[in-house]
Amino acid sequence: MQNFKQFEHSTHASRFVKTNIKSKLIFALLGMSIMFSISIPLSAVRSAVIGTDDRVVTNDVELLKRVGSVLYQGRVICTGFASAKNQITTAAGCVDERNIDDYTFAFIDKKEKKIQKLRVNKKTNLAFLKVDGINDFFQSEGLLDGRQPINLVSYKSGDNLLNKTDNGEVWFTPVNGLLYHTFSSDRGAAGSPILQNGKVVAVHLGTAKYTRYAEALRPDSHASIGNKENINYNVAVRYNGIKDVELEKVKITFETGRE
């Protein structure tokens, strides 16, 4: 089963291959609402954003020394990972550049490290933290290969156990760099790396809403009828190999542990 799938665009219900469910993503981009028609497998649509938590605690040494927690005033609120020497990457919604002294970072040993500098990229919704003593870090991979296994690694809010799940799938969206996925996540998971063969291919951010229309064509016209349903979906951003990413106007609810 392929982990990465391309959204199928369609203008007519008869062209849907996997399902007759038409879904419409609505984002406030460039000051206006843009609507995308996409086809999503029913199995994915029925998967809840949080759903049944199928993550398992991992003791993988390579993961434990590269994935840690972002803390706010001593409390775990997000996940972060070592992405370069003395650099931690997390989700932009996890931190506030104006209050850098309120944040620290820690690996499984719970030794909090001071954040020296903080830079937020509003286009990608990622934040980069300068933390001394980071020497072992993930490599990144720009090529998404649906034939390769992928997994999400994260911490939970208020928990000091590293969790891992490989039970999920990822879809490209019409928004450059934005991905939808069905990996189990929870508060504190924002900033978690999505790995392919041990390399970072994407970063989990949180959730976004889209409107699903279950439609059927009227027999006497091209008009459609059906029910509308708003659904939350897990979102991530590709980490490498993308240009002109514009996610700052996409309404994303970051899965942080902040009250």
Determine the pLDDT at residue 194. Answer: 96
Which of 110-114, 118-122, 171-175 has the least mean pLDDT? Answer: 171-175
Instruction: Flag whether pLDDT at 130 surpasses 90.
Output: yes
What distance in Å separates the CA atoms of residue 91 and residue 193, rounded to the nearest whole number?
Answer: 10
pLDDT tens per residue across span 214-252: 555 555 555 555 567 777 789 999 998 666 676 766 777
Adjacent-strand bridge partners of 210: 231
Query: Domain for residue 41, yes or no?
Result: no
Q: How many CB atoms lie within 10 A of CB 136?
A: 9
Instruction: With respect to residue 107, please indicate whether it lies within any of the assigned structural domains.
Output: yes
Instruction: Identify the band that residue 25 occupies on the pLDDT scale cut at 50, 70 and 90.
Output: very low
Asked if residue 237 lies in contact with residue 124, where contact means CB atoms within 8 angstroms, the answer is: yes
Average pLDDT over residues 13-36: 32
Burial (CB count <10 Å: 0-12, 13-18, 19+), residue 32: exposed
Please give the Cα distance from 200 to 198 (Å, whole number): 7
Is pLDDT at 181 greater than 80 in this prediction? Answer: yes
- Residue-range definition of the domain harbouring residue 122: 61-130
- Could you tell me the CATH number of the domain that includes residue 100? 2.40.10.10
Q: How many C-alpha atoms does 212 have within 13 Å on its Cβ side?
A: 17
The answer to whether residue 125 is domain-embedded is: yes
In this model, does residue 4 exceed pLDDT 70? no
For residue 187, tell me if it sits in a domain.
no
76 occurs within a structural domain: yes
Q: Is residue 82 part of a domain?
A: yes
pTM score, two decimals?
0.76
User: With the C-alpha atoms ordered 10, 11, 15, 20, is the resulting torsion angle positive or negative?
Assistant: positive
Flag whether 50 is in a domain. Answer: no
**Amino acid residing at 166:** D
Q: What is the mean pLDDT of residues 151-175?
A: 87
From CA 185, how far away is CA 75, in angstroms rounded? 18
Alpha carbon distance 108, 111 (integer Å): 8
93 is a domain residue:
yes
Number of domains in the chain: 1
Confidence band (pLDDT; 50, 70, 90) for 213? Answer: low
pLDDT digits (tens, 9 = 90+) for 136-145: 999 998 877 7
